[in-house]
Amino acid sequence: MVQPKLLRFIGFFIGQIGISKWFGKLGKVVLVYSLNEIVDIKVKSFNGEDGTVHQITLILESGKSIPLIGSYSSGFQEKQEIVKTIKSFLAA
C-alpha cells in the first residue's frame, strides 16, 4: 500500500505526474512530467556508514532519474511494494 507521506510529494494528474521540490523560505516548485515519459521505476540503494538506505526513482525516456522523495531511507521491501503498485497503475 502507498504510504500517505509519499502522496504528499507526488500527484497523479490526467496523464501526468507532479513532484514537489521545496526550496526552504523560497517556497516550492512542482515539476510536471508526462506519464508516457516514464520508462522504468527502480529502488536505488546506497551503502552508507549506518547501513544500506533506499530511494524510489523514476527513469524517464531522456535517461533522467527523478527521485519521488529527495532523501534515502531504510525499508527496501516497502519501497519495492510501492514500485510494484506504481508499475501496476501505469500498466492499466
pLDDT tens for the chain, residues 1 to 92? 444 344 334 555 567 677 777 676 777 777 788 888 899 999 999 998 889 999 999 999 999 998 888 788 889 999 999 999 989 888 87
Q: In residues, how long is the chain?
A: 92
Domains, the chain, ordered by start: 4-91 (2.30.29)
Whole-structure pTM value: 0.70
- Pairing between strand 16-22 and 28-34? antiparallel
Q: Grid coordinates in use for 40?
A: 522504468
